[in-house]
Amino acid sequence: MAQERPLPSVVERMWGREPVTRRGPRPRLDLATITDAAIEIADAEGLTGVSMAAVASRVGVAATALYRYVDSKEDLLTAMTDGIVPPPPEPEGTPWRDYLALWTRIQRDLLLEHAWLLSVVRLVPPLGPQRLLWFDRALTALEGTGLGPGEKVNVVTSLTGYALTDATLTYGLGVGDPQMESASISGAADYGEMLTGLIDPETYPSLSAVLHEGAMHGAEGWVEDADFVFGLDLLLDGVEALIGRRAR
């Protein structure tokens, strides 16, 4: 019989599978305490402030003590992406479209509230109990729609990607957390006006036309909530059309 592939130790701990030591004093730390401390630092200082030494100082231990719980900073980031996630709303009694709209908005808002997540979630697939619970609830909302298993997974990952893209655009235009303004394309400048001065109408005729019509003038206006809803509705309209085709 094939042996099960061993899980990374941090994933084991995230799922409460930490080995229980029967002898000696009770450990002063646990992964949740370390993760919470790292999240507090990231919220205050960004990811550049998160180091094993900084986290150890915040919880009052030597840095070497952390390595009993996380093998590296990468493991710590994996734990942080799950520890920051609140419980998902329950889908029972909510139409699938309404639920997925709420589901996507909450994820987008979480990224807007914690800018450092934008640098991590692209690299860390959902491995912890909280993020996978969100995945499960979105799949639950799609039960009874007639979609196949792979289609349901693709719907959920598409909505996750949309939440990430929208939040990234918001920060890239300098409309989000002040910590992210240094990475913004134009900062306080008007992104639409910047593009107008850059592009050649003969090479970019369609883009030039919408710019001159004012569709992208004012960076804050371009990423306002109405734009998020517009894109989300496009995605959900596509899901609804797919469900209709499966029903036929």
Mean pLDDT of the chain: 84
pLDDT number for residue 8? 83
Using 50, 70 and 90 to split pLDDT, how confident is the model at 110?
very high
* Beta-carbon contacts of residue 113 (< 8 Å; ≥ 6 apart): none
Using 50, 70 and 90 to split pLDDT, how confident is the model at 166?
very high
Q: Cβ–Cβ contacts within 10 Å for residue 216, how many?
A: 18
The separation between the first and the last C-alpha atoms of the chain, rounded to the nearest angstrom, is 44
The residue among 51, 53, 71, 73 whose CA lies nearest residue 63 is: 53
* Beta-carbon contacts of residue 231 (< 8 Å; ≥ 6 apart): 162, 166
The residue among 170, 162, 160 whose CA lies nearest residue 112 is: 170
Mark residue 48 as left, alpha or beta (left: phi above 0; alpha: psi -120 to 50; beta: remaining).
alpha
Higher pLDDT: 121 or 111? It is 111
In CATH terms, the superfamily for domain 96-247 is Tetracycline Repressor, domain 2 (1.10.357.10)
pLDDT digit string, tens, across residues 31-89: 999 999 999 999 999 999 999 999 999 999 999 999 989 999 999 999 999 999 999 99
Using 50, 70 and 90 to split pLDDT, how confident is the model at 169?
confident
pTM given for the model:
0.81
pLDDT number for residue 198? 82
**What does the pLDDT average to over 135-141?**
96
Residue 23 Cα to chain centre, angstroms: 40
Using 50, 70 and 90 to split pLDDT, how confident is the model at 164?
very high
pLDDT digit string, tens, across residues 5-41: 678 888 899 888 866 555 545 567 899 999 999 999 9
- Listed by start position, the domains of the chain span 9-15+26-83, 96-247
CATH among 1.10.10.10, 3.40.50.740, 1.10.10.60, 3.40.50.300 for 9-15+26-83: 1.10.10.60
Token couple for 29: 């730390």
